[in-house]
Amino acid sequence: MGLRLTTLLIACCFVLPGFAAAEVRHQALAQLQENFNMAVAAVRPGVVCIKATRKTGNQWIESIGSGFVVDERGYILTNQHVVADAVGVEISFWRSPPRMLQAKVIHEDAALDLALLQVKGKKKFTPVVFGNSEQIEMGDWVMSVGSPFGFEHSIALGIVSAANRNLRIQNREYENMIQTDAVINEGNSGGPLIDIFGRVVGITTAIYAPDGTYTGLGFAIPVNRAKAFFSRITGALAALPLPAIHPLSVLPIDLNAGPPNDFNHIQFRDCTRCHQIIAKKVVVVGAKRPHPTVGNCDKCHIFEKKAATGAPVTVATPGAFRPMVVDQQDFWIFFKARMLKSVPLLLISSVIFSMLGLGGGFFYVPILLYSGIDFHTATTSSLLMLTLGSLSAMLVFFKSRLVDMKLVAALSLPAMIGAFMGGVYSNIFEITTLYFLFSITLFAAAYFMIKEKEHDGTGYQLVGSSMVITRLFHGQTYSIDLLLALPLVAMVSFLGGVLGVAGGWFIVPMLTLFFGVPMRVAVASSSLLVPINGTAGFLGHGIAGHIDWQLTIVLSLVAVIGAQIGARISTKADTGLLRVIFTCVLGMVGLWMMSKVIWVG
């Protein structure tokens, strides 16, 4: 009995410490896991996905990268190569509403490969917590946070493999970079590299990819260098002296990855708001797409590309790419799924506004936006629809002999110049600005039409110079001061070219209220000015690369049919009824567009 008890006690002496050690290890691992979770939770609210668009030749390219908030006023830090030459920049936050926010590039430095963005918002933004990149050591745990291949706000774990690496990448020299094996892929550029406590210690920038894929070698810019860069603008941190970095010329690296350049993506329509992608499929760039267009392809696919050279490469997702093959079946499936339900509304719009000499642009653009078309493609399509529809309606107006050809001839040149320049320079406006301009112009036109002045040729007749033409047309006399009318027409046409409404929205009330032109004559003459403006604006947008031919031609047929119906009704309708319809419709559409300003902005 004594021997058994002794043996049992000896066994317990060996076994119990093992159980205790296992429990300690379990607690340590649990604490480590908790640290990882807390680190991610701390940084995620301040990390953003960045989408920047730019034009290369006749091709539009979208660059996808990452960034993070450095100041509660909306300042965001990212790599300069993510937003280089960008026409527009949009960002999205983790678990934010399904929409993108417009951002501006405030400051950039190509040598440092850093850029500072700013986004406006109604509330303060959550900045990240900064660490000290001088204190990191080889073997430290780190995590990369970003949007690899468009998978927004992804996390990857690794360690610091080395510090103070010097690299040469695409005309830039990077000094004292942090090397890590935390997974970094295309789309991670500009995202934070954080330590186990959630503090940012670097900005993920490049990978070593001899065959074009991640191989375990990633590089990040030390955060202390970035602090000195952005604190000069934000004033949040004391600036640190930086060593001079001189760009060096190296051979370019071919990266053939990015969204497809097809009819539904060349304008970067955001169709993915309705889908959650849980897996990606590899497709070959240049091959026929495996399914109809349903969203941004980088959300669903990983593109096979040419092998990169044996050198580090930056990890934003842009690059010249071959357009994917688009067949007719894809377009018709897209049209039936997204546009067919909008055709009745487009037809009704064409009828109503052709009665008013406007052609339908006030509704064309909002309806196309509602159908998922981006603003620039919507305005370009609207202009061609206006042109063809108004040409069709113009035949009816000519038969009624209500078109004052001398008046049209006097106003056509400034109208063409203004509309063309509006189409060419439409890219300089942010989307929120375009929505705002659209709504304001509608309210302005409605205001002029609702004024209690007569519209039968007895309203104001503004004359301020000697450049006056006097017309006796259809038994009524009216005078046009060209020194006033020509600049007004040019400005109106410029906005019409930008917004896709061809300028008829203001020409009719301008002629009736400012110069006493009878309503029916103003409407009929506007029916000729609208296609002049529409053609010029359409050509301007064509130079800017906004044309979707298949979509535009099909919808233009609808506009032609509606214009014929509206023109025939207009020649017989009461002018008072026309003004009431004009005012009510303009006000309603203006309110809708203003609501879009609030939502997008």
List, in order of start, the domains of the chain with CATH numbers. 32-325 (2.40.10.120), 330-600 (no CATH)
Q: Cα(468)–Cα(484) distance, rounded to whole angstroms?
A: 9
- Using only C-alpha atoms, the chain has a radius of gyration, in whole angstroms, of 31
Question: Are the beta carbons of 350 and 575 closer than 8 angstroms?
Answer: no
Most confident of 191-200, 428-437, 499-508: 191-200
Residue 161 token pair: 């493999």
Q: Cα(165)–Cα(176) distance, rounded to whole angstroms?
A: 5
Q: How many H-runs (helices) and E-runs (strands) does the chain carry?
A: 14, 18
Q: What is the mean pLDDT of residues 22-33?
A: 67
Predicted confidence (pLDDT) at residue 414 exceeds the cutoff of 60: yes
Residue-wise pLDDT for 122-159, tens only, equals: 778 889 999 888 888 888 989 999 888 777 778 888 99
* β partners of residue 47: 68
With cut-offs at 50, 70 and 90, classify the pLDDT of residue 412.
confident
CB atoms within 10 A of CB 598: 11
Report the pLDDT value the prediction gives residue 238, as an integer from 0 to 100.
38
pTM of the entire predicted model: 0.46
Q: What is the mean pLDDT of residues 343-349?
A: 78
Predicted confidence (pLDDT) at residue 558 exceeds the cutoff of 60: yes
Q: Cα(72)–Cα(74) distance, rounded to whole angstroms?
A: 5
With cut-offs at 50, 70 and 90, classify the pLDDT of residue 249.
very low
Q: What is the mean pLDDT of residues 91-112?
A: 80
3-state secondary structure of 240: coil
Residue 420 token pair: 């063309």
CA nearest neighbour of 404 among 503, 528, 516:
528
Element (H, E) at 379: helix 375-400
CB atoms within 10 A of CB 46: 23
Q: What is the mean pLDDT of residues 296-305?
A: 46
3-state secondary structure of 358: coil
Q: What is the mean pLDDT of residues 486-500?
A: 84
